């Protein structure tokens, strides 16, 4: 990996992807592993919340907007 890329990561001008992050960790003698987060997700509760949010979205009033009142930016050729 070019030093300029690592410098960009260090300065926050660029964010490494998963492969680049794993490569840098490996170069430092570490290994990245995925594991479930602490306090795993309560699927039942998450499902209830999602259902409530969807119901709320459906209950919001919707209105169709009319045609655009402004002239087009350019005329068709």
Residue pointed to by tokens 């990245």 = 32
Q: Look at residue 76 and tell me whether its pLDDT is greater than 70.
A: no
- What's the distance, CA 41 to chain centroid? 19
pLDDT in tens, 55-65: 999 988 877 77
Mean pLDDT of the chain: 86
Q: Residue 29 corresponds to which tokens in the numbers above? A: 């003698």
Is the model's pTM score more than 0.85? no
């Amino acid at each position: 990996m070019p030093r300029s890329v690592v410098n960009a990561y260090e300065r926050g001008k660029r964010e490494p992807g998963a492969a680049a992050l794993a490569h840098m960790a490996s170069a430092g003698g570490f290994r990245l592993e995925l594991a479930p987060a602490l306090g795993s997700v309560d699927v039942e509760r998450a499902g209830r919340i999602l259902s409530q949010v969807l119901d709320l979205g459906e209950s919001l009033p919707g209105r169709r907007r009319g045609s655009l009142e402004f002239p087009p930016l350019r005329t068709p050729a």
